[in-house]
Amino acid sequence: MTEKTLVLLKPDAVERNLIGNILTEYERNDLKVTDMKLLQASSEMAEEHYVEHKGQPFFNRLVSYLTRSPLVALVLEGEDVVNRVRTLNGTTDPEESGDNTIRALYGLSLSENTVHASDSPESAARERSIWFA
């Protein structure tokens, strides 16, 4: 089934000039970019995006990271795209992520793991409404 997912190329990706490299990974795997923007996230946007982690000891660090410089938000579309993008991105911790995954290639740490992707079509719809309001 054709789905949409929401991806963030987080501030460390933009700071290190990795936008093109990461987009290439998605595009050469037949995923279609159907919406994209570079923006400075506000604290409100970051807090809403990570609302499920509110109360976690790392929550404030996540919000500071996402808001420290511009990020790229994009929508990818394709068959089973939610799962496919999560596989391409790899595990949350880059140290444990499989070879050739985006986080193994470019991720810096568990906190600064360079990319985000929605974990379900329902999350994708909620997250799209934050970044593409």
Cα separation, 67 vs 77, whole angstroms: 26
Residue 120 interacts with ligand CMP (CB under 6 A)?
no
Q: Which of 60, 92, 100, 129 binds ligand CMP (CB under 6 A)?
A: 92
- How do the residues of the chain divide into helix, strand and coil, expressed in percent and rounded to 5? 45, 20, 35
Q: Is 58 annotated as a binding residue?
A: yes
Q: Which of 67, 97, 101, 113 binds ligand CMP (CB under 6 A)?
A: 113
Residue 62 interacts with ligand CMP (CB under 6 A)?
yes
Cα separation, 27 vs 120, whole angstroms: 20
One-letter amino acid identity for 27? E
Kindly indicate which of the ranges 19-27, 31-39, 77-85, 107-115 contains the residues binding ligand CMP, using the contact rule CB under 6 A. 107-115
Cα separation, 90 vs 42, whole angstroms: 27
Residue 49 annotated as catalytic: no
Closest CA to 28 of 80, 66, 84: 84
Binding residues for ligand CMP restricted to 29-58, rule: CB under 6 A? 53, 58
Q: What is the binding site for ligand CMP (CB under 6 A)? A: 53, 58, 62, 92, 110-111, 113, 116
Known catalytic residues are 116
